[in-house]
Structure 1
Amino acid sequence: MRIIVERSATIDLPLHDGHAPKWLVEMMKQLAHEISYIIINEYGTEEFLLRISDPLWFQSLGCVLGYDWHSSGVTTVVTGVLKTVLNNEDLGIIVAGGKGAISRKAPDEILEYSKKINLDNPEKYVKISRIVAKVDNTLIQSGHTLYHHTIFIDEKGNWAVIQQGMNVEELKARRYHWLSKNLKSFVNEPHNAIIGEPVKLKVLNMVARESEECRKVCLDIVNENPVKLKRMIKESMRGPLDRWLFNEEIKHYEMPWDMDWKIFEKLYELKPKKFEELVEFQGVGPKTIRALALVSEIIFGTPASWRDPVKFSFAHGGKDGVPYPIDKKVYRQTIEIFKDAIIRSKLNHDSKMFALKRLSKIDIL
Structure 2
Amino acid sequence: MVRRTGSADLPLHTGRVPLWLAGRMATLGSVICQAIVEHYGRDELLARLAHPFWFQAFGSVMGMDWHSSGITTSVIGALKRGLDPIKDEIGVYVCGGRGRHSRRTPDELNLLGDRIGVDAPSLTRASRLVAKVDSAAVQDGFELYLHGFFVTREGRWTVVQQGMNGGSRQARRYHWHSGSLSSFVDEPHAAIEGPEQGEIINLTDRRAEKSRSAQLDLLADFGPDRIVKELLAQTPSAAAPSDQLDLPHLIMPAHHDVRSSDVFTRRLHGTLAAAAERGPVDFPELLLTPGVGARTVQSLAMVAEVVHGAPYRFQDPGRFSLALGGKDRHPYPVPIKVYDETIAVLKSAVQKAKLGNSELLAALRRLDDQARRLEKVAGGPSLEAHIARERTRSAEYGGLSVFGWEGSAADAPKSAATDPIKRQTAR
TM-score (norm 2): 0.56
Q: 1:340 to 1:209 in 2, by over 3 A?
A: closer
Is the contact between residue 53 and residue 250 of structure 2 (CA under 8 Å) also seen in structure 1?
no
Q: 1:215 to 1:53 in 2, by over 3 A?
A: closer
1:282 correspondence with 2:225: yes
Aligned to 2:176: 178
1:106 correspondence with 2:74: no
Alignment counterpart, residue 43 of structure 1, candidates 33, 40, 53: 40
Q: How does 1:95-244 map to 2 (within 5 A)?
A: 95-116=94-115, 118-182=116-180, 189-196=187-194, 198-216=195-213, 219=214
Q: Write out per-residue CA displacement over residues 121-153 of structure 1, whole angstroms, 9 at most, x where no aligned residue.
A: 222111111111111111100001111001111
Structure 2 unpaired stretches of 5+? 1-6, 256-263, 272-300, 310-322, 324-335, 346-371, 377-427
Is the contact between residue 134 and residue 279 of structure 1 (CA under 8 Å) also seen in structure 2?
no
Letter in 2 for 1:281: P
Give the CA deviation at 1:19: 0.4
Aligned to 1:351: 340
Aligned to 1:300: none
Q: Secondary structure at the match of 2:242?
A: coil
1:79 correspondence with 2:76: yes
Give the CA deviation at 1:113: 2.9
Is the contact between residue 138 and residue 289 of structure 1 (CA under 8 Å) also seen in structure 2?
yes
> What is the distance in 2 between the residues matched to 1:205 and 1:174?
14
Structure 1 unpaired stretches of 5+? 1-9, 220-271, 298-302, 319-325, 357-362
Letter in 2 for 1:82: L
> What is the distance in 2 between the residues matched to 1:40 and 1:337?
15
Q: 1:273 to 1:136 in 2, by over 3 A?
A: closer
Q: Secondary structure at the match of 2:102?
A: helix
Q: How does 1:20-31 map to 2 (within 5 A)?
A: 20-31=17-28
Q: Write out per-residue CA displacement over residues 257-295 of structure 1, whole angstroms, 9 at most, x where no aligned residue.
A: xxxxxxxxxxxxxxx76255479432553x64232235x
Q: Write out per-residue CA displacement over residues 237-257 of structure 1, whole angstroms, 9 at most, x where no aligned residue.
A: xxxxxxxxxxxxxxxxxxxxx
Is the contact between residue 151 and residue 160 of structure 1 (CA under 8 Å) also seen in structure 2?
yes
Give the CA deviation at 1:181: 1.2
> What is the distance in 2 between the residues matched to 1:275 and 1:190?
19
Aligned to 1:224: none
RMSD: 3.8
Is the contact between residue 205 and residue 304 of structure 1 (CA under 8 Å) also seen in structure 2?
yes
1:292 correspondence with 2:234: yes
Letter in 2 for 1:305: A
Give the CA deviation at 1:88: 2.0
Give the CA deviation at 1:190: 1.1
Q: Secondary structure at the match of 2:179?
A: coil
Q: Secondary structure at the match of 2:44?
A: helix
Alignment counterpart, residue 59 of structure 2, candidates 42, 52, 62: 62
> What is the distance in 2 between the residues matched to 1:65 and 1:149?
21
Q: Write out per-residue CA displacement over residues 45-67 of structure 1, whole angstroms, 9 at most, x where no aligned residue.
A: 11111111111111111011110
Give the CA deviation at 1:354: 8.8
Q: Secondary structure at the match of 2:82?
A: helix
> What is the distance in 2 between the residues matched to 1:200 and 1:308?
15
Letter in 2 for 1:314: I
Q: How many matched pairs? A: 271
> What is the distance in 1 between the residues matched to 2:166 and 2:152?
34
Letter in 2 for 1:304: A
Q: 1:348 to 1:273 in 2, by over 3 A?
A: closer
Q: Secondary structure at the match of 1:69?
A: coil
Letter in 1 for 2:54: W
Give the CA deviation at 1:83: 1.1
Q: Secondary structure at the match of 1:309?
A: helix
Letter in 1 for 2:252: A
> What is the distance in 1 between the residues matched to 2:34 and 2:340?
16
Letter in 2 for 1:289: L
> What is the distance in 1 between the residues matched to 2:189 and 2:307?
29
Q: Secondary structure at the match of 2:225?
A: coil
Letter in 2 for 1:102: H
Q: Write out per-residue CA displacement over residues 311-364 of structure 1, whole angstroms, 9 at most, x where no aligned residue.
A: 41322599xxxxxxx9x99xx99863447899xxxx9855235999xxxxxx99
TM-score (norm 1): 0.64
> What is the distance in 2 between the residues matched to 1:138 and 1:12?
18
1:313 correspondence with 2:236: no
Q: 1:350 to 1:160 in 2, by over 3 A?
A: closer
Letter in 1 for 2:161: Q
> What is the distance in 2 between the residues matched to 1:273 and 1:340?
39
Q: Secondary structure at the match of 1:282?
A: helix
